Amino acid sequence: MKLFIVSILLGFGLSMSAHAQMTLDSLFARDTVYNAYQQKMDEIFDSVDFSYLSTGILFDRGFSFINIESFDGTLKDESKSSMLAFGLSYASIETMTVEDSVSLPDPSDYRNVLDTITSHSEVILIAGLHQQYDRIDSNAISDGLFSQSGANLSDVFPRAESPYNLNRVFLFAPE
The mean predicted confidence, pLDDT, of the chain is 80
What is the residue extent of each domain of the chain? Answer: 1-44, 48-174
Can you point out the beta strands (E) in the chain?
A: 126-136, 146-149, 152-155, 164-174
Contact partners, residue 160, CB within 8 Å, separation at least 6? none
In tens, the pLDDT along 155-167 reads 999 998 999 999 9
From CA 89, how far away is CA 92, in angstroms rounded?
Answer: 5
Rounded to two decimals, the pTM is 0.74
Strand partners for 132: 168
Q: Considering all CA atoms of the chain, what is the largest pairwise distance in Å, rounded to the nearest integer? A: 83
Name, in order, each residue with C-beta under 8 angstroms of 172's C-beta and a sequence gap of 6 or more: 81, 126, 127, 128, 129
pLDDT in tens, 37-96: 888 999 999 999 999 999 999 999 998 999 999 898 888 777 788 888 888 999 899 889
Contact (CB, 8 A) for 89 and 129: yes
Backbone angles phi and psi of 46, in degrees to 5: -60, -35
At residue 128, what are phi and psi to the nearest 5 degrees? -125, 145
Nearest to 93 by CA among 66, 121, 125, 126: 66
- Cα–Cα distance measured from residue 61 to residue 37, given in angstroms and rounded to the nearest whole number: 10
Q: Could you tell me what percent of the chain has a pLDDT over 70?
A: 82
Over residues 109-132, the pLDDT tens digits come to 777 877 777 777 777 778 888 999
